[in-house]
Amino acid sequence: MNKVAANVLVIDDDPDVLHTARVVLKPQFSSITVESNPEQINYLINHNQYDVILLDMNYTTGATSGKEGLFWLKNIITKNPMQQVIMMTAYGDIKLAVEAMKIGASDFVVKPWENEKLQATVYAAYNLSQSKKEVEELKNKNSNLKKLLGSTEETIIGHSASMKNIFSAVDKVASTDANVLILGDNGTGKEMIARSIHNRSNRSAKVFIKVDLGAISENLFESELFGHKKGAFTDAREERIGRFELADGGTLFLDEIGNLSLAMQAKLLTAIQHKEIVKVGNNVTTPVDCRIVAATNSNLLQMVAEGKFREDLLYRINTVEIHVPRLRDRTEDIPLLANHFLNIYAQKYRKPTLSINKKAMEYLCRHSWPGNIRELQHAIERAVIMADDNILRQENFLLSNKMTSADSGDSINMDKVEKSTIEKAIAKNKGNISKAAKELGLGRTTIYRKMDKYGIRY
């Protein structure tokens, strides 16, 4: 293994231990400092930065309680909570080691150690310190970017009564730490509302982390959400920090929560309930402080009745519920949204004088918008790109579903229309599902779920 540029500090009152540690670690790590007097710890950590500290448990002759080690550990962790400290314990002192891990030690080695084990433990702690540093840097970058971009936060457009209710709910709930469940069809703006709650909350300087639960496979779920230790399973070559830990201090947005299997729901519930996670391959719990905002297009109450969704999880996540209506149920917002997207894309594609004529606007208001606002956004973008002159007319909008809002009451009919719209889009795009999804304003997961629902095979 190549030598890594790491600063390691070893503290032990036994000169033999210090000598051996130096000899064992020197080939692998660029700088090894040894110290026999723990009273020097404060001076050393105030004047140097160590990637890993190896700390003995007892210093006074004859002492075996480990109290001194725990005292110095607390002292180090209080000054720098990110510091990686490995405790050196005598054989049989597992209880003490556990206590040390609770205080914040990253690992422990039993004395007398096996050389390879010592090298591997220091190396793992070094890797962890690097990834924690990266996460901190990313969080700082994110928060700086947010400050820079704060003024350009996407505006939620809408003046319908239902949107006004949503704005008022967002205002009331944002500053609390209550968990929020956002319900609505695909493309109605659930993620936008989740971001708005975060941006208006006391957590706004911290991160907003999104997890698309519909896209996570059963076997990667735990590692994705809670992280894993190096070597926890075959592909776990490095330690990984999960989304819960990444969102610490901020907001965790759990999208498509209705798509979780019962087994995954149980694991998620434990983490939300106890506000702590256990990494895969580890038995130590890590506290996490993140506000949960979840979203789904599924009817969770019905899923509870059918035994497909845990009732206790539903009550954990739905302290406050926000229902986002379909676009066809708030047609008065369509002209506002259409002009909003027209402004954005007219600027982007340098066609500033474009406008939508009256007939075309009426046509847009009659369309059933199965892909909701995302579909409208894409329809406007496409029309702007294809426009030949300054006016967007009805024929500029290639809407594959010609149903008017007057027909939209019948959900069986709606299903038929949706099925045929998806089939047509797939056929038009010669079986390319991604392109069909894009055209309809749907995500890939969503189109596959709908294909499954309507038995569309390609």
Ligand X SMILES: Nc1ncnc2c1ncn2[C@@H]1O[C@H](COP(=O)(O)OP(=O)(O)OP(=O)(O)O)[C@@H](O)[C@H]1O
Instruction: Name the site residues for ligand X (rule: CB under 6 A).
Output: 154, 156-158, 184, 186-192, 255, 297, 373-374, 377, 443, 446
CB of 139 to ligand X, least distance (A): 23
Kindly state the helix (H) or strand (E) to which residue 364 belongs, with its residue range. helix 358-366
Return the number of other C-beta atoms located less than 10 Å from residue 191's C-beta. Answer: 17
How large is the greatest C-alpha to C-alpha distance in the chain, in angstroms? Answer: 92
CB of 56 to ligand X, least distance (A): 53
Q: Which residue has its beta carbon closest to ligand X?
A: 189
Q: Give the nearer residue to ligand X in terms of CB position, either 109 or 376.
A: 376
Q: Give the nearer residue to ligand X in terms of CB position, either 106 or 204.
A: 204
Token pair recorded at residue 270: 């434990």
CB of 381 to ligand X, least distance (A): 10
Q: Give the nearer residue to ligand X in terms of CB position, either 183 or 271.
A: 183
Name the 3-class secondary structure at 321: strand
C-alpha–C-alpha distance, residues 360 and 395, integer Å: 8
C-alpha–C-alpha distance, residues 375 and 35, integer Å: 65
Q: Give the nearer residue to ligand X in terms of CB position, either 83 or 186.
A: 186
CB of 160 to ligand X, least distance (A): 10
Return the number of other C-beta atoms located less than 10 Å from residue 148's C-beta. Answer: 9
Return the number of other C-beta atoms located less than 10 Å from residue 203's C-beta. Answer: 21
Kindly state the helix (H) or strand (E) to which residue 293 belongs, with its residue range. strand 291-296
Q: Give the nearer residue to ligand X in terms of CB position, either 32 or 440.
A: 440
Strands (DSSP E) contained in 199-258 are 208-212, 227-228, 240-241, 251-255
Return the number of other C-beta atoms located less than 10 Å from residue 118's C-beta. Answer: 21
CB of 93 to ligand X, least distance (A): 51
CB of 262 to ligand X, least distance (A): 22
Q: Give the nearer residue to ligand X in terms of CB position, either 250 or 443.
A: 443
Q: One-letter amino acid identity for 438? A: K
Q: How far is CA 415 from the centre of its chain?
A: 32
CB of 314 to ligand X, least distance (A): 18
In degrees, rounded to 5, the angle at the alpha carbon of residue 118 between the alpha carbons of residues 117 and 122 is 115
Q: Give the nearer residue to ligand X in terms of CB position, either 245 or 255.
A: 255
